[in-house]
Structure 1
Amino acid sequence: MEYAIVDIETTGGHARNSRMTEIAIVIHDGLRVIERWESLINPEQDIPLAIFALTGIDNDLVANAPVFGDIAQQVFNMLDGRIFVAHNVNFDYSFIRHQLEEEGFKWGARKLCTVRLSRKIKPGFPSYSLGKLCDALGIPISNRHRAGGDAEATALLFASLLEWDHEGVLEEMLKKTSTDQRFPPNLAIEDFEALPAQPGVYYFLNQQGKVIYVGKAVHLKKRVASHFTGHSIHKQRQHFLKEIYHITFEVCATELMALLLECTEIKRLWPAYNRALKRFEPKFGLFRYEAQNGYHYLAVGKLKKHCQCLQTFNVEYEGIHVLRQLMINFDLDPRMCMFAAADTPYAQRIKEADADLPNIEMHNAQVDLAVDHLLGQQPTFVIVDKGRTLDEKSYVWVEQGNFYAMGYLDQDAQLASIEDIRSSLKRYYGNHYMMQVINSYINKYPRKVTYLNDCHRAVVLPEVTDDCDGESLILF
């Protein structure tokens, strides 16, 4: 069994848009080094100043170096049939495989990460970066951040780990079924092993314990494992895998509960690597508020994080159309209806003869009627489904067209009324996308839905939070 210990330098952090500037390969037969090779590479693109500051490699240094196509055959010959070893192996592997594929070479190899290997054989160090680990273990390292110097240091580290491996750690990591073949270098394996084969929501945490990604799953362990399979050259994946240190999870009874919890957690935590669901956030809302003069206003405006409104809209015009219909149908004073889209506020275009303000009690009563009509058009219902165990049931509560609450209740719980169920569930604030998910679900499973409009009614007004002060609602 032979090992190709590799280090590369690049123009950036991901293989899709960056290129290699230097490569070094050290061949080890398990006992000693039998071959060394290294080369500068002309990346055929500019080298950023930040990379020059780190590596000392600039455009002039690589101007006369071979392009990768000139050395691709030699690289392939040295790697083919050997175990690919590197410190944070997925980074080096992704670049080399991508550029070999561009030159027509179909190459793949079993991988061995010296970060993971070091964590298992020599646990307990505060840092497993190559420089700090070598310093802590007394392994000499020179010419740092150059391919040759780092490859030599990785080879010495690898040889030492082979000597210290008295429990067959390396042999286990090389098995095709081993999770270490594909797992991120810093992830605690015990976190993965704790994942159940149930629906739920999982959280990826960075070194500081901050959530960087939230996902939902029908089968938690399979879904999490799928993040670490395949070969991706995208920036997001390469940075993403490197930052994962821990996994936590929450079991849910159904896929619907997992979907809704995922959405609420992304809204709450706003993780760096969750991008897809952020695109579904509506941008505008219809707000109701009471001004200092005592009049109730209706206004269309941009949504802020955590702001609650009567109805949300993907485009501003939809909100303006709804407000205009309410104004006409309920004879609302135009000066108390704020249309954000108008260059000149609608109130300024009314005639002077109509400038007298309406009776405040009558106006506010008309606004109440308009709001009741708007909310009354939306259904209130509860979805009852199986629980996480046989002794409980799950509930999803939708109030007047908005996701309101969800949770789990024991089947033997003493519930005197439908209000007892509502008050026992955990309150959530939904969005447009979550209602699309719920509506799709009830269309598929109508028998799980109980409509409550006739027996329960409540008007939910916008709530002011720390992120949404009262003043912000009137500045349209």
Structure 2
Amino acid sequence: MNKLKNMEYAIVDIETTGGHARGSRMTEIAIVIHDGGKVIERWESLINPEQYIPLAIFGLTGINNELVADAPVFASIAEQVFNLLEGRVFVAHNVNFDYSFIRHQLEEVGYKWTARKLCTVRLSRKIKPGLRSYSLGNLCDNLAIPIANRHRAGGDADATAVLFSYLLQWDNEGVMEQMLKKTSADQRFPANLSPEDFEALPDTPGVYYFLNQHGKVIYVGKAINLKKRVASHFTGHNINKQRQHFLKEIYHITFEVCANELMALLLECAEIKRLWPAYNRALKRFEPKFGLFKYEAVNGYQYLAVGKLKKHSQCIQVFNLESEGIHVLRQLMTTFGLDHRLCTFGLSSVPYVSRNNNEYGDLPEIGAHNAKVDLAIDYLVEQQPTFVITGKGRTAEEKSYIWVEQGNFYAMGYLDQYAQVDAMEDIRSTLTRYYGNHYMMQLIKAYISKYPHQVTYLNDSQKTILLPEQTGEYEDGSLRLF
């Protein structure tokens, strides 16, 4: 505690035109200097933000465009702000919000400034656990701290200074000293995140979930090392609106351990498809754009067509490029003698037969043609391999399995390595069923090209095609797919 009392703290509150530093500006700032025992200096100022103040902000703070019209712009008070903050611990309620604005606006006028931070939200959660709410207003009500001029920088900074003094007195377990260490996660973690959630993360591959205060999943990610990957979300100084809102919404973390990176990647994709979290957007670009379709026209003929793949549309096979689909369709035409007039290639939505009805003679008999189409489709499906990837499990006592059926990711899971397995169907029936997509199969194909010894191919009767015995020579590296 003596060490803490020898430090000086800058307790800060600001008012702004909006919720993120990239597109908003400060309208008011208050800085209270605390020496670990008492307040030794106090300063506050309105700021002309040089931009319009929304009505919603005026309704909350009482600060409007007229009030700040004659106030100094930030550039004219930046040196004073810098001198008050430099060399002191930066303290605020939800510290990352205030810190991001001040650091950004100081950088804009040429001041390079960083500081160790203390968040009175996180401090209060640790030193006074179990309270109903940790908002500044509710904390002041619960702890009998007087607060005047609520939602104004001076009033909130004064109340935060009183709260900080109480927390210093109540901190009998060295919480504050631990949080001030440069290596402490509290220097970068979001204010609402439970530290116990982070500490529970293992150093293993898996999938992690960020949850909001209502328990709803807002982000799903995969990791080779769960703890290291989650920590990376909270490093760096990013003032973008999306990131600021994202960090503010994180209240809890849950996770699921996986045996390897591939299983983590597949589970991440499956969970994003299932939950569609608000902050997951990257996987959209991996969806295929084209498909091979079969449809029956009013004339009774079955047509095969290559076209754009629309959301939720069903097709026989998907492709990244239109040319890939055209190549497959041409092969089917050649192999099965399909009349080219009953096939559609690419951009044209009108079958060739409709444009050249008489040029090549009569169309084939409907029944014979449709039978050929069915044979072609059956052939195409049967050409897709069925196989299982076997690997190490999450522990030494289990094995992992990824099941691909007729070219589609079908299931995955884990079995005790000593479990009795009489047939491959025994494995298949115990795995968790998933619904794959083209991107997931790309991941699987990239993996088996690196580790072919882990793959067992199966024929139609699910009998194993024996492969050379597995060895451990490929087991040491991690998979880098992109």
TM, length-normalised to structure 1? 0.85
Aligned to 1:469: none
Count of paired positions:
455
1:436 is paired with a residue whose SS is: helix
Of the structure 1 ranges 408-417 and 327-336, higher mean CA displacement relative to structure 2 is found in 327-336
**Number of the residue aligned with 1:388:** 394
Question: What amino acid maps onto 1:23 in structure 2?
Answer: I
Give the equivalent residue in structure 2 for 1:156: 162
Q: Which residue of 1 aligns with 2:373?
A: 367
| RMSD, aligned α-carbons | 3.0
Give ranges in structure 1 of 5+ residues lacking alignment: 458-476
Determine if the alignment matches structure 1 residue 285 to structure 2 residue 291. yes
After TM superposition, give the deviation of residue 215 of structure 1 in Å.
1.0
Post-superposition CA distance 1:268-316 (Å, at most 9, x none) = 11111112222222344334578999976656453435x6543223456
Q: Does 1:263 align with 2:262?
A: no
Task: Tell me the alpha carbon deviations over residues 338-396 of structure 1, each in whole angstroms, 9 at most, x when there is no partner.
Answer: 77843556665463898989544x44432322212323443333221111112221112
Aligned-partner Cα distance in 2 for 1:191–1:109: 26
Q: Which amino acid aligns with 1:304?
A: K
Question: Could you tell me which amino acid in structure 2 is paired with residue 410 of structure 1?
Answer: D
Name the % identity. 76
Counterpart of 1:243 (choices 243, 249, 260) is 249
Query: What does residue 230 of structure 1 align with?
Result: 236
Could you tell me which of 167, 173, 176 is aligned with 1:170?
176
Deviation at 1:158, TM superposition (A): 1.8
* 1:333–1:358 CA contact under 8 A, matched in 2: no
Q: Counterpart of 2:44?
A: 38
CA deviation after TM superposition for structure 1 residue 83, in Å: 0.9
Relative to 1, partners in 2 of residues 1:422 and 1:40: Cα closer, same or farther, differing over 3 Å?
same
Q: CA deviation at 1:416?
A: 2.3
CA–CA distance in structure 2, aligned partners of residues 423 and 295 of structure 1: 39
Candidates 297, 304, 309, aligned match of 1:302: 309
SS at match of 1:61: coil
Q: Which one-letter code corresponds to 2:272 in the other structure?
A: I
Offset of 1:76 from its aligned partner?
Answer: 0.9
> 2:426 is paired with a residue of what secondary structure?
helix
Larger relative contact order, structure 1 or 2 (CA cutoff 8 Å, min sep 6)? 1
Q: Report the CA distance shift for 1:127/1:350 in structure 2 as closer, same or farther (over 3 A).
A: farther
Change (3 A) 1:23 1:335: farther
Q: Which stretch shifts more, 417-426 or 270-279?
A: 417-426
**Please, which of 398, 409, 414 is the counterpart of residue 408 of structure 1?**
414
CA contact (8 A) 2:94 2:121 kept: yes
Matched, 1:122 2:158: no
Sort the Cα spacing of 1:416 and 1:117 in 2 relative to 1 into closer, same or farther, 3 A.
same
Q: 1:298 to 1:60 in 2, by over 3 A?
A: farther
Report if aligned partners of 2:343, 2:351 keep a CA contact under 8 Å in 1: no
The offset of 1:77, in angstroms, is 0.6
For residues 83-136 of structure 1, what are the alpha-carbon distances to aligned partners after superposition, in whole Å with 9 as ceiling and x for unaligned? 111111111111111222222222111111111111122222332222232233
Amino acid at match of 1:186: N
Answering whether residue 20 of structure 2 is matched by residue 14 of structure 1, we say yes
* Structure-2 separation of matches of 1:338 and 1:211: 43
Q: Which amino acid aligns with 1:80?
A: E
Report the alpha carbon displacement of residue 409 of structure 1 after superposing the two structures with TM. Answer: 1.8
TM-score calculated relative to the size of structure 2 = 0.84
CA contact (8 A) 2:210 2:250 kept: yes
